[in-house]
Amino acid sequence: MERIYFDNAATTALDKAVLDTMLPYMTEKFGNPSSIYSYGRESRLGIENARKTVAKILGAHPGEIFFTSGGTESSNTAITAAIRDLGCRHLISSPIEHHATLHTVENAGHKEDVKVSWVKLLPDGHVDMEDLRALLAGSKERCLVSLMHANNEIGNLLDLHAVGNLCKEYDAIFHSDTVQTVGHYPFDLRNTPVHFINGAGHKFHGPKGVGILYINENVKITPYIQGGSQERNMRAGTENLYGIVGFAKALELATEHFEEHSQYINSLRLYMAEQLQKHIPGFSYNGDLFGRSLYTVLNASFPKSEKSEMLLFNLDINGICASGGSACTSGADAGSHVIRAINNDPNRVAVRFSFSRHNTKEEVDKVVEKLKELI
């Protein structure tokens, strides 16, 4: 059976050129980067060159880039450090964050002596900036604001500069989960008012199990993971050598082809929305599809019926991969906390379709045809 993969916000296929770059570090260049002999120095050079590449692309200093196991570890590190090292006693986040942020903030609220506030959302899922200002202005304690750059389920984009400048006004620390946007948009961190951002290699055709944490050079924190001097004493544990090299290569390729790929992927997304509007009665979408929105994600909403309730299962049987909101919770049928927060209508079913440069219009047509049958 032909398989159609429309779940690229969950993970993407590893690029062949990225694999080719990684292979030497999986075979002959296998030294421990902490060793001082030639094998070790060769591995260390691979890591430091990767760091320089990532820093240059993101408009950061190499000393501000730290390699981690992925976006989840990076978010945990930033939030924990803001509380422990930077004096933040009031955490402000949104109810539609990825669980890596949401659960970390909730956990801190239960265990630490910190207050937690959830910023209000506008009907289209964007953060209510007036409410954010009111929360910051009304806080007696130093705040950490943790808001994602692009929502992984509905695709809404945050204005990093607007939030960052607001944080600056109230001396707040700003962390943004940029897992869905690093590798998908250009960054200029030297001119972006943010203290922490994070990325994950597997979201832009790089390897799984490797990510970055950007820590602004003016921020001083202590390690989250103890036990070694790796990552300039900031992240203990032998480095994921081939993952790091692969991350840098994937980011390089994504940046090089950004204009061409982003336009193509966005055209697929809008074409699918148009076709669903035309052929599926009662179709609508969640989020700000035609406004400030991630070009890879279409969150489709269908009227609930006996057929549509089994939609993901039936799509899977027909070789079509999509998800009901966040792939990170696909093992449990708990529904989507994001959809509940913005459109808590029990009579609608949400399906996230997310695209990459490997998808085609022919695939969109086949999926729409199948949806006509299934709904």
- How far is it, in rounded angstroms, from Cα 228 to Cα 13? 32
Same domain, 230 and 274: no
Predicted confidence (pLDDT) at residue 325 exceeds the cutoff of 80: no
**Last-in-domain residue among 228, 256, 284:** 256
Q: What is the mean pLDDT of the chain?
A: 95
Same domain, 274 and 243: no
| pTM, rounded to two decimals | 0.95
- How far is it, in rounded angstroms, from Cα 107 to Cα 320? 36
Predicted pLDDT at 333: 53
Same domain, 137 and 252: yes
pLDDT in tens, 67-81: 999 999 999 999 999
Same domain, 78 and 189: yes
Same domain, 80 and 201: yes
Same domain, 236 and 285: no
Same domain, 232 and 296: no
Q: Tell me the two tokens of residue 308.
A: 């549509």
The answer to whether residues 161 and 193 touch, using CB atoms and an 8 Å cutoff, is yes
Assign 16 a pLDDT band (cuts: 50, 70, 90). very high
Q: 285 forms bridges with which residues in the sheet?
A: 300
- Which residue range is the domain that position 296 belongs to? 4-12+258-374
pLDDT in tens, 288-306: 999 999 999 999 999 988 8
Assign 331 a pLDDT band (cuts: 50, 70, 90). very low
**The total number of structural domains that make up the chain:** 2
Same domain, 126 and 57: yes
Alpha-helical segments (H) within 92-153: 99-111, 129-137
Please compute the mean of the pLDDT values over residues 131-138 and round it to a whole number: 98
Same domain, 335 and 282: yes
CATH code, domain with 281 = 3.90.1150.10
- Helices 241-256 and 16-26: crossing angle in degrees, nearest 10, is 160
**Last-in-domain residue among 237, 256, 275:** 256
Q: What is the DSSP string of 224-238?
A: SS-S--HHHHTS-S-
CATH code, domain with 64 = 3.40.640.10
Same domain, 226 and 265: no
Predicted pLDDT at 324: 84
Please compute the mean of the pLDDT values over residues 81-110 and round it to a whole number: 97
Same domain, 206 and 248: yes
CB atoms within 10 A of CB 121: 18
Catalytic residues, by residue number, are 328
Please compute the mean of the pLDDT values over residues 312-319 and round it to a whole number: 94
Same domain, 177 and 274: no
Predicted pLDDT at 307: 80
**Last-in-domain residue among 256, 271, 286:** 256
The answer to whether residues 248 and 108 touch, using CB atoms and an 8 Å cutoff, is no
Task: Read off the amino acid at residue 61.
Answer: H
